[in-house]
């Protein structure tokens, strides 16, 4: 993933535009694209700063505020399905996909594990038989 341009470079672009250079000249002088020059200038005029916005980072879960409710449902019914959780959330006026529910359950460490009694009845693959 790339990184944002430095504030020094952004400031140089703004100073060059203020000095009367065209966007194309500034882009060539500073080694950036014309669209970057335009974005830097727009940001400078709108906010008075050339500081880039937050770049990357952590994105929270949409279901975070329902964590205690979902945990209670799973504790009360350990074999509850993703579709059932999704339906219960829909009754609470929360529209999410089953994938979102799965990821949130994994985040809470509430994953459903199959019972060992349901293991294979014979070996998998091409192993030699005794």
Residues 42 and 68 both lie in one domain: no
Going by the DSSP 8-state scheme, the letter that residue 109 receives in this structure is T
What are the pLDDT digits (tens) for 67-116?
999 999 999 998 889 999 999 999 999 999 999 999 999 999 987 665 65
Share of the chain above pLDDT 90, in %: 66
Find the domain containing 32 and state its range.
7-47
On whether residue 98 sits in a domain, the answer given is yes
The pTM score is 0.49
Task: Identify whether 127 is part of a domain.
Answer: no
| Residues 68 and 98 both lie in one domain | yes
Number of structural domains found in the chain: 2
15 in a structural domain: yes
Torsion of CA 83, 86, 91, 92, to 10 degrees: 160
**Residue 55 resides in a domain:** no
What is the token pair recorded at 128? 């030699």
Query: Which pLDDT score, from 0 to 100, does residue 52 have?
Result: 87
Q: Are residues 42 and 79 in the same domain?
A: no
76-91 exposure pattern, b = at least 16 Cβ within 10 A, e = fewer: eeeebeeeebbebbee
Query: Does the residue 21 lie in any domain?
Result: yes
């Amino acid at each position: 993933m790339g990184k944002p341009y430095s504030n020094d470079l952004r400031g140089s672009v703004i100073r060059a535009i203020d000095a009367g250079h065209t966007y194309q000249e500034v882009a060539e002088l500073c080694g950036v694209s014309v669209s970057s020059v335009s974005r830097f200038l727009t940001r400078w005029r709108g906010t008075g700063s050339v500081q880039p916005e937050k770049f990357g980072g952590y994105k929270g879960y949409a279901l975070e505020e329902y964590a205690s409710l979902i945990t209670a449902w799973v504790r009360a019914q350990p074999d509850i399905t993703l579709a059932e959780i999704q339906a219960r959330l829909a009754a609470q006026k929360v529209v999410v996909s089953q994938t979102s529910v799965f990821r949130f359950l994994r985040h809470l460490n509430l994953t459903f594990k199959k019972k060992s009694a349901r293991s294979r009845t014979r070996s998998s693959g091409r192993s030699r038989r005794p």
